[in-house]
């Protein structure tokens, strides 16, 4: 059983919450569903958001962080966004000294990992 100890982070909460919110929003929109997990180590807090969407080609994985960039196939206005969610998530995480790393899951879909230093 995982411990249910609260994880305490000194941060700008209104800004920082945009990061997991935007990632979960994307996972639901492009990846069918979101599975979020949080854990802490003595040095850092790690938040991962997994989805079950299509594989994003490796070269696209870095480009999706550019403002207004949207992968072919999600450019339709029907999916709503304008391509700022990941750029905002990245800048907020970096402003807190953290990292935001996207990777392809072996099972398919995307994993977004946020690491915040404690
Ligand atoms: N979980 C995901 N699975 C597949 N593609 C994604 C995922 N998250 C983001 N993307 C791609 O990255 C692009 C940029 O994402 P984002 O910055 O949140 O902008 P928006 O959601 O407004 O389009 C999306 O348009 C989509 O093509
Ligand atoms: Mg988005």
- Give per-residue pLDDT as tens, 44-89: 999 999 999 888 888 888 898 899 888 876 556 566 678 899 999 9
Q: Give whole-number Cα distances, 76 to 37, 68, 82, 98, 107, in Å.
A: 30, 13, 10, 31, 26
Three-class DSSP category at 7? coil
Q: Is 112 exposed, middle or buried (0-12, 13-18, 19+ CB in 10 A)?
A: buried
- Provide residues with CB under 6 Å of ligand 1: 22, 26-27, 30-31, 51, 53, 56, 64, 69-71, 74, 81-87, 110
Q: What domains can you pick out in the chain, each with its CATH number?
A: 13-117 (3.30.565.10)
Task: Give ion ligand 2 contacts, CB < 5 A.
Answer: 26, 81, 85
| Closest among 117, 79, 80, 78 to 95, alpha carbons compared | 117
**Cα angle value 2/48/53 (rounded, 5°):** 125
The protein residue whose alpha carbon is closest to atom 13 in ligand 1 is 70
* pLDDT tens by residue, 1-12: 556 788 888 999
With 0.85 as the threshold, say if the pTM is over it.
Answer: yes
């Amino acid at each position: 059983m995982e411990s249910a100890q609260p994880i305490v982070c000194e941060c700008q909460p209104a800004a920082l919450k945009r990061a997991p919110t935007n990632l979960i929003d994307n996972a639901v929109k492009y990846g069918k569903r979101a599975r979020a997990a949080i854990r802490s180590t003595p040095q850092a807090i790690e938040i991962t958001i997994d989805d079950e969407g299509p594989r994003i080609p490796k070269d696209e994985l870095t480009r999706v962080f550019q403002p207004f960039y949207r992968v072919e196939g999600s450019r339709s206005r029907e999916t709503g966004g304008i391509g700022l969610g990941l750029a905002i998530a990245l800048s907020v995480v970096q402003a807190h000294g953290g990292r935001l790393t996207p990777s392809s899951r072996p099972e398919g879909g995307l994993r977004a990992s946020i690491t915040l230093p404690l």
